[in-house]
Structures are given as C-alpha cells and as structure tokens.
Structure 1
Amino acid sequence: MSDPTVQPVPASVVEQVDAADATLSNPKRAVVSLGSNLGNRLETLQGAIDALEDTPGVRIKAVSPVYETEPWGVDPGSQPSYFNAVVLLKTTLPPISLLERGQAIEEAYERVREERWGPRTIDVDIVTYADIESDDPALTLPHPRAHQRAFVLAPWLDVDPEAELLGHGPVAGLLEDVSQEGVLARADLELRLPE
C-alpha cells in the first residue's frame, strides 16, 4: 500500500500524463479536494477521480494519499469520519464549467444538501484554479476556508511539497498553523491515478 510520506510521481506516470496533456490546448492547473463520509467512502472517492478524468478537457496529474478525518464544523461524533484526498489536474475548462462538472459528480452520487457541513456521499471542491482570485458567490477562488483545513492542506502538501495558496502563502506553513488533530494518513488505503 502507499506510504503517507511524500513520494515523487514515477517517471512513467509523468510521461503518460504529459502525453495526454498534448490533447489539451493551453491547460490551466487546478487543485480539487474530495471528501466522503457516507457509503463506501474509498470507492466513492475513486469514482469521483475517474469521473473527473473522463471529463473532456481534464487530465488528472496527481492523486494524494487518503486521509481519515473528523467532520469539520460540527460536534465530534455527530457524523461518521471522512475519507479525504486532493487531486491536481490540468484543464481547459473554465472555472465555472469545472464547478458544474464537480456538482454533476456530486449529483451522480446522490449528495444531499440539507444542512451546512452535513454528512455527504461526496464533496467536490475547487481549492484553486490557476492564479485566479474571485469573490463570486457561485465560485470563490481560492476556496475561502482552504487555509484553515488540515484535511485539505495535508493531502495537498503530499502531492505538491512546494504548493502555495494564493493570498495565504506556502501550504507547508499553513499546515503548521492549523490543528491536525483528527486528521490521520491512511497508509492502508490507496487511490489510483486514472490510466
């Protein structure tokens, strides 16, 4: 199984992804956070990754290790724990179209939005998109709470040790400044980079 420590992406994978990128014209880099705390969490995360890769104009560059985390923003023990991961991708889709694709994936997994920070089959959040800053209520970029969330920062740092969150600085420093209690790397679980 995968080691939760940072590991370089194998050259063969980089070559495959770079070849796939040749089909994209002027792709932009995006960071997407995934979370699930209902149903088969690992299977759902993998399904969301595969669905993103199957999207025309999207190529997955890297998939983080899986983290198991306590629900954020609610009382401990009020919900099942989450499996979280981060994917790095390149896309020719504009940000709003990438958001719509993420919402379509959530809908396909029957995500219900009854309460803020409620349990969910899948959550697909755009953390960053290129160097775009936007206060649009439909899609705020970068994600307005990413800098406070160890369940986003820890897996992101695993796949991009030099990552920076626009307007907030290096992800490594941000992670040091937030509580990592209840955020556990799961070395026994693994998500696949789509072929």
Structure 2
Amino acid sequence: MEHVVLGLGSNKSFGAFSSLELLKRACSCLADFIHGLEVSSIYKTAAMYVCEQDDFYNMVAVGKFSGTPDSLLEKIHSIEQKFGRDRSLEVRNGPRSLDIDIELFGNQTVKKENLVIPHERLLERAFVLAPFLEVLQKNADVNKADIEFYGKKLELLKDQRVEKYCSF
C-alpha cells in the first residue's frame, strides 16, 4: 500500500449538487478504496491560470492505496465523470464540477503523457499546500522536515488568495 495525497476542487455545480456537496460526495467515493482516508477543511480559493471564473472550493484527501498510480487515476476519473466532469467539453483550467489530482503517490515518480507524479504544479499552488499542511500537522507520524519544507513553499505563495471556508 502506498500513501497518497489527492487534491480535490470544484467551482461549478452539477445537477442539484453544489460544489461543496460534490466534494463531500467525492470523498465518500474515495473512502471506498483509500484506506484510512483523512480530509482537510475546505478552502475557498481564487481561480488560477484562467482567472475569469468563479472561485474554487479546494481540499486535500490522504490515505493508503493498494494499486498502481494508473489504477488510482482510473478510479478518480470515474468519480469525476460520475459527478459531471466531461474533459472533452471543458476548457483547460476552466470551470469544472469536480477535479481530483494525484499530488503524491508514496515516493514514486511517474512521467507519462496523462500522469505526472509528483504533480508538476504542486509547489506553485497554495490551494493544495494549505490543506495539505493542515492534514500533515494533525498526523503525529509525519516527518517534521516535510512540514517545514511545505510550509516554506506555502509562505512563498502568500499572494494567492486561499481562505479556510469550512471544516469537512
């Protein structure tokens, strides 16, 4: 089993489900195959890359996964589709009902066309680092050097608007 870190985000409703409800339902689905699932609070964040869109609600989920990075990607794509994501119809970095990214997969490095681990923009995204640090700081088994490393990276991004919105 590998320790995984997933980043989740939403800024568009799907059917009767608001972004917040979509995140909660996605976490319920993740709990079916991520063992010991822990989640951060939800953070309201300014959109990046394509700024002319609604704010995002972001969070991080961590736990253990028994499988390969590719099998995890397949499972999270299935959850995204279940909650209205159709990659063929969307603008890259534009509005979406649900986005789930694999940020870390143990100590593995993957570089494929459809999957890069660690996530190639992990260290430039306060909307991932803030909730990730929240979860890290709750875990007594975490290496303090990791907390310090990610904390320093987050400090460099203090110009990005990331506000704790609510607890999960």
What's the TM-score once normalised by structure 2's chain length? 0.87
State whether residues 150 and 180 of structure 1, in contact with CA within 8 Å, keep that contact through their aligned partners in structure 2.
no
Larger helix percent: 2
Q: For the residues of structure 2 that align with 1:101 and 1:50, how far apart are their CA atoms?
A: 13
Q: For the residues of structure 2 that align with 1:157 and 1:45, how far apart are their CA atoms?
A: 19
Structure 1 residues without counterparts, runs of 5 or longer: 1-26
- The residue correspondences of 1:20-35 to structure 2 (distance < 5 A) are 27-35=1-9
RMSD over aligned CA atoms reads 1.7
- Name which of 170, 176, 183 aligns with 2:149: 170
State whether residues 43 and 57 of structure 2, in contact with CA within 8 Å, keep that contact through their aligned partners in structure 1.
yes
State yes or no: 1:118 paired with 2:94.
Answer: yes
Question: Runs in 1 of length 4+ with deviation above 2 angstroms?
Answer: 161-165
For residues 34-55 of structure 1, give each alpha carbon's deviation from its aligned partner in whole angstroms, at most 9, with x where no partner exists: 0000110111001110001123
Deviation at 1:175, TM superposition (A): 0.4
Q: For the residues of structure 2 that align with 1:132 and 1:147, how far apart are their CA atoms?
A: 17
Sequence identity (%): 35
Q: For the residues of structure 2 that align with 1:89 and 1:120, how far apart are their CA atoms?
A: 24
For residues 31-74 of structure 1, give each alpha carbon's deviation from its aligned partner in whole angstroms, at most 9, with x where no partner exists: 0000000110111001110001123xx21431101100011112
State whether residues 60 and 87 of structure 1, in contact with CA within 8 Å, keep that contact through their aligned partners in structure 2.
no
Distance 1:140 1:110, change over 3 A: same
- Name which of 70, 75, 85 aligns with 1:101: 75
Q: Which amino acid aligns with 1:127?
A: E
- The residue correspondences of 1:54-133 to structure 2 (distance < 5 A) are 54-55=32-33, 58-75=34-51, 78-113=52-87, 114-133=90-109
Q: For the residues of structure 2 that align with 1:144 and 1:45, how far apart are their CA atoms?
A: 23
State whether residues 31 and 37 of structure 2, in contact with CA within 8 Å, keep that contact through their aligned partners in structure 1.
no
Count of aligned positions: 156
**3-state SS of paired residue (1:74):** coil
Distance 1:164 1:144, change over 3 A: farther
Distance 1:85 1:163, change over 3 A: farther
State which drifts further: 129-138 or 156-165.
156-165
| Rg comparison, structure with higher value | 1
What's the TM-score once normalised by structure 1's chain length? 0.75
- Name which of 50, 63, 68 aligns with 2:28: 50
